[in-house]
Structure formats: C-alpha cells, structure tokens
Structure 1
C-alpha cells in the first residue's frame, strides 16, 4: 500500500490491503488486551497501551508511507502546507493587482506620515496621498472620514477666507470620544498644497480631539477620473474650461472606486461652510439610511432645476420634478454629501448608472444640459432611483444664495428657500456672506 499526493491532500491507494491491515491490527489489539488483563496489574495496563499505540503510528507511517519515517513525513506535510499557503497568498496578491488595474480600487494609501510632528515615510512617491498628520496615540481609533476640494486656492483670497471660516467653526464645535479620530482628506493641486498644509496644521493643532490629515494629488485623481466622467463633463458642465468642468469636480460620483476599501463612509464638504454644531452628529445620519440608500444629500434650495428641466416639465405635465418640497422634487445640492462607500461598491444599479451609455440616456431623457457638476448627475439619478438617496434636512446644508430670485422666480422662490428649525451648517454658496455668530 502507498500514499499519493494530490493538491496537498494525501489519498489512500490499494484499499483491500489497507482493510486487511486494519483487521489484523484489531485482532492483535484484542489478543494483547486479553493477555494484559490476566498478567499485568491495572495500573500498568494504560502505560503498555500507550507504548503500543506509538509503535502502531510509527509502523503505519513506515509501511504506508513508502518507508518514510515519522519525522520525514511530518516535514513533508508541513512543507506542503507552507507551499499551499504561499500559493493562496500569491493568488490574493494577483487578485488585488487585477482589481487595481481594472479601476475597481484605484487609490493607494498615504506615502508619508507625520506622527506627533515627526515624519515617518511609508511608501513611494507615486502614491496619491502625499502627506499625513496625526495627533493620535498608537492606539487603534475609530476613524471618521471627511473630504474637501482645495484646488485653485493659492491665488484666490476669497476661497482662503472661506476655508478659514469652515475650519475654525468645525474645530470649535466638533466633539469626539477618546477612542475616535477625525480623518481629514484634502484634495489639492501642487500650487495650493503648501497653503493647505499650513492652514490645516494651524487649525487642527487647536483641536481637543484626535485628528489625521491626508493630502491627495488633484492631478493624479483627475487623471484616473477622466475615463469615468468624460460623458458627464459634456452634459453637466459648461465646458471643460469652466469652474465645474474639471474632472476633479466629479470625484464624488466615483469616490467608491478611488479610496481604499477600508474607508467605508465619508462626508464631502464644500469650502464655503460654517458649522454651528459638531460634525460628529452629522455622521449619525448614516444610521438613518434605508436599506438601499447609499448617498445622503440635501435638497437644492433654489429653483435651479425648475429652470434647467423646463422642457421635460412641459412634456410631462404635473410632474413633481423641479417643484419645491414637501410634495415636489427640487433636485439636490452637493455642498454637504454623505457617501456610504461600501453600499456604493455593492450597488449594481448605481455602478450601471455611471456607464457612458447610462449617462447619455439620462441626459436625453430629461433634455438636460447642466453646469453644476456632480449635483446635476445626482439630481437626475434621484428622479429615476430615489431609493439610492437619504435626504438630509435643510438644516445640514442651509444654502444662502438667492441669485435665482432675481431671474424671474420671485413668486415661487421662498417655497424653495424656506428652512425651519435650528441651523447646523450654513452654506454660503455663490459667494453669499455667512451670518456672524
């Protein structure tokens, strides 16, 4: 009888021989047991049984293992196990590489860490995240991720002042537990990077809670986004030279394909915000998402889509699309945006809507030519698949712009602009001044 190897499993060959061997062993065991019962005291019987069992194991390996001894067979088994484990690890590595190459997971982690102000390099120069700061200890903390766009800011004093207001108010009102950390992702171009680092360091150094910052290269992210959002740029911006025409302003729609898989939820924030409450409270909105919802977003508070969807509304009399709440659907405003990245990764419907064919169909269906980037896309998707969205209260994105009041919509403007209750976040969109405390 002989043992053969197949895919790390040992298979018995020559079954009749094996059966005969087992039967003979059983008869021998019965004979020895009878002799021991008559000749040996009971206290020695179990010792003899152990010795005989050991000899049986050695004999089995020798006879059934092609005259290998116990040690050589054991080494072979461990060697085979290690070899199989290596194959599994290689397969997993190949799978990760394939996933990265196909764009399902594009974003590597930070390449530089600064712990307590001391630099610690952790990766190559080609990584998207350029720098990292943290005030946390070595204890593993629960991370709360937020992100803002910080591009074309170095020469724009107005944006700089807005960002200072946003950061100052956020730090002053935020409150986190000792086992939690606020992880701030800043997407910045090369010209604005140094300023972004300086401002974040200044404000977060005053925080009474643990913080971490990752700076991401806008150029690298934009290059990855181009194949995904070229069709969107044609329909949801006023041309690639316009402010919202840059592909980076469509980052939110593909965020689940950009950030690492361990980032499960993230909140995207415009720079022109002012916090009146702790951002930690905003994260509790994720817990209110219904089973199919993956995006948290507030309604647009002006008749923007009443205007841009005029042809669709004329062809579909009585449609709630473009109408004010509570009975209408006014469209969305993406100044404050909650993304459940895990749900977006799993959503077959949402990922199909990102395809060029689906974007073309949406634009054709609604006769749509927009200019507000990602929120145009979210608005059209919200009409056909409202189940993907959790609608935030207007208090979480209290928009202040009144530009459309003077564009022929004064009679209905307040139906869109009305917001009752205490304000959590002011949004000074279209360069509107935010009220002082």
Structure 2
C-alpha cells in the first residue's frame, strides 16, 4: 500500500506558498498533476515538437511515434483489443458527443428508444436529447432506488426491443455509486434493437481514475473518459469503440488528416482511428496522458480503490455524527468511490463551500451538472467532497472537524 504523505512531494502544487495548508477535496471535478506528467508534456514540445502523421522527416516521425505509443498505452489501460480502437478527443464530453453525432444520428430512427440513467452528467444527457429530438425517438430513464442503486428489475423494465442505445455512467459523479455495467450491457445486447442488440455507451469519466477498467469484460461498445480526472492535462481524453463499429459509422469532424483522398466532389476517409481525428492533434497532451496512466498504474488501481474506501469510511462515519447533515446516496462507504455528497440543514451548499474555503478546504457545490438527478432528489444543489490518492486521513479528519462548525459559523444555535 502506498503512502499518501510520501507521494505528495510528486505534486508541486501542494508545496506552493499560495497553497500552503490546502485540503483539496474536489478531485471528481479535476485532479492535480504529478511533476512527471507536466515534465512529459514539456519534454515533447522541447524535443519532439512537430506535426504528427504528416512529415517524412525525423522530427515528425518521432512525434508520430510518441503519439501512437500514447494510443497504445491507453488501449492497454482499458484492455482494448488493439490501439486502433482508441480515438483521442478533448475530454469525455467530446467523446460522448462523437458517439451521439455518428452512431446516434445514423442508427436511431423514429420510434426507437434511448435509455439513460437518472444520475447522468449533462454530458451524457444532452447529446441523447439531441438525437431523440432530431430522429423522433424517445428518451427513457433508468431510475435508481433509495440506496442510489439501479436494480435488475429496473433494467429489465426499461430496456426492451425498442431500445437502440443505452448510455450510462459507470460511476456517478454525485453518488459515487458504481453502476452494474456488465449486467446492463448483457441485457441490452440480448433484447435491444429487436433482439439484434442495443449499443452500450459508457461514461467512464469517474471510474477510469479509480478502478481497473476492462472494456472487453464490460462488453461496452463505447467507453469515454477524460485525462484531467486521472492526473493528465486538461484538453485530452479518449473514446474506446469496438473496431467493427468504428469502421461502419461516419466521421464526426471533417478536415485535415482524417482523409485518404479528396477530389472536388468526393472524399475517401482514412482508416480507423484517424478517420475521427481531424486536424492537428493534441500530441503533447496524449504523451502526458500516457505518462499519467503509467504513474497511477505504478501506484496501483487496487491500492487507489482501497484508499478511496478508507477515506470515504472516515468521512462518512464522521458525517453521521454531525446533526443536521445529510449524506446523499448510499450509506455504505464502499459504494462511494471516494465521492461523498451532502447537505446541511439551513445552510446553502454554496455557503458551505465558501465557509470551508476560508479554512483552506476546497469542495464543490452546485448541481454537479446533474440537474435531472437533483430534481429527483428534491434539492437544488448539494456540496460534494471527493478524494484521490494524494489525500490523507488527517486531511479528512480536519475536514470533518470544520464541518461540525459550519452551522455555528452561520449563526445557528445548536
């Protein structure tokens, strides 16, 4: 098991004078980057900066090798069958839009159904609303129970022969709950689309940084994640897609590099995955993403999961002792993936975040880009604390002690 105290020296942001004493509990929004990741991106631009895939000279060839080696690293990280199943994007949102604008608009027809869960991030709702509105299809919601879980009964009630696409987050960014993707995929592939099988799209933005991902075992048709949530730079992400599906769907963006041949009237597109990577790519970001994957694999995703559970246990047990505080979701700390969302009676979540900020504790407050879920829960917004492997038990304990004082600081008499 790694030591959070020891690895914090890899993250220079914590040693900056302006961040002295910072307790950062907002990693579900974005993580920090270790020095080796920042260095990897800088080294690419210092040593191998050239436009990949286009040049026949040595520098461009090195840039191409770096870029394609990064693709291979992501493929191995997700256990994709081959690197060609990995498309580089800016983030999970772009990846999900890519699927919606390609297979969604080309495959969904009037009368079809697209199934999403009630706990989806807006990035996995709005693209499917667009598809349904454009094609005359119906958006169907998988509802969770009082424990924030989607039951087998609900899966079988909502996925049927009319279902063309099922789009679900593997881990909720509000509840931290891990959804039963294997079960959903198995049933969707069995009964969806008139028995031919529905397409299963997985938002892995919150799961990829915390769990070992095996897209083949999940049997996901598509899997999206963002680099910035797993210690990589902002502006780089990836989409996994089964190769036979990527080969049959049209490109998302059109322009340079994604073509094989162009005439005045027609174009022949490049092979997968380059068919989906129009224009100059974020090669430096891809290289840094590969380094981030190497870094967290060095720590061990199994160790990260254990640390998530340990910190969540401390947090939830402490919160349960605070009057007027309500944990949103499951009370089992093992079902939170390091994410704990909560409210405090009489105190707006924005005030909770602002008060904690004066104590140098960073938490998120708002609807967390999950307004349909907030509406279901009957709350306008919540506060959210989210941990990662660089957080310590001592930080969580300090956080709990400060939480106990929030109502008093707001003028309430206990």
Work out whether the TM-score is over 0.5. no
Larger radius of gyration: 1
TM-score bin (small chain): under 0.3
> Normalization by structure 1: what TM-score?
0.25
More helix by share: 1
TM-score (norm 2): 0.26
